[in-house]
Amino acid sequence: MALIPLTAAASNNTADADALWNQPESVSADSAFYVIQSWWDGIGRATQNDPTQRGLDELAQANADLLSAHSVLLRQRTDPGPHPVAVIDPLLAGIYNLITGSNAKAPVGSVFNWTNQSLLNLEGRGSTDEIVRVLLKDYQAKQAAAERDLHSTASFDADALLIANAQRETAFMLKIKAVSSPGDGLAGLLHDIDQSTTALAARHQGNNGVGNGNGSANANSNKQSPPKPKAKSGAGG
Q: What is the structure's pLDDT at 104? A: 62
Mean pLDDT of the chain: 77
The residue that leads in pLDDT, 19 or 121, is: 121
Under the banding of pLDDT at 50, 70 and 90, the label for residue 166 is: very high
Q: Buried b vs exposed e over 39-50: b needs ≥16 C-beta within 10 Å?
A: ebbeeebeebee
The residue that leads in pLDDT, 73 or 100, is: 73
Of 73, 53, 55, 33, whose CA–CA distance to 186 is shortest?
Answer: 73
Q: What is the DSSP letter of 104?
A: -
Average of per-residue pLDDT across 5-22:
52
Q: What is the structure's pLDDT at 78? A: 85
SS3 224: strand
Of 58, 78, 66, 60, whose CA–CA distance to 190 is shortest?
Answer: 66
Q: What is the structure's pLDDT at 24? A: 64
Which of 32-36, 38-42, 100-104, 225-229 has the weakest average pLDDT? 225-229
- Nearest-10 crossing angle of helices 88-100, 107-123: 110
Over 70: is that where the pLDDT of 52 sits? yes
Q: What is the structure's pLDDT at 147? A: 93
Which of 61-70, 73-82, 104-113, 196-205 has the weakest average pLDDT? 104-113
181 strand-pairing partners? none
Q: What is the DSSP letter of 7?
A: S
Q: What is the structure's pLDDT at 152? A: 75
Under the banding of pLDDT at 50, 70 and 90, the label for residue 141 is: very high
SS3 107: helix
Average of per-residue pLDDT across 85-95:
64
Domains of the chain, by residue range, sit at 13-78+127-221
Average of per-residue pLDDT across 115-138:
91
Q: Convert the pLDDT of each residue in 176-214 to its tens digit.
A: 999 998 888 999 999 999 999 999 999 988 666 543 433
Under the banding of pLDDT at 50, 70 and 90, the label for residue 96 is: low
| pTM tops 0.75, yes or no | no
Give DSSP secondary structure letters for 26-90.
SS-TTSTTHHHHHHHHHHHHHT---HHHHHHHHHHHHHHHHHHHHHHHHHHHHS-S--PPTTHHH
Q: What is the structure's pLDDT at 165? A: 93
Over 50: is that where the pLDDT of 143 sits? yes
Q: Is residue 8 a contact partner of residue 96, using CB atoms and an 8 Å limit?
A: no
Alpha carbon distance 71, 78 (integer Å): 10
Of 5, 53, 22, whose CA–CA distance to 165 is shortest?
Answer: 22
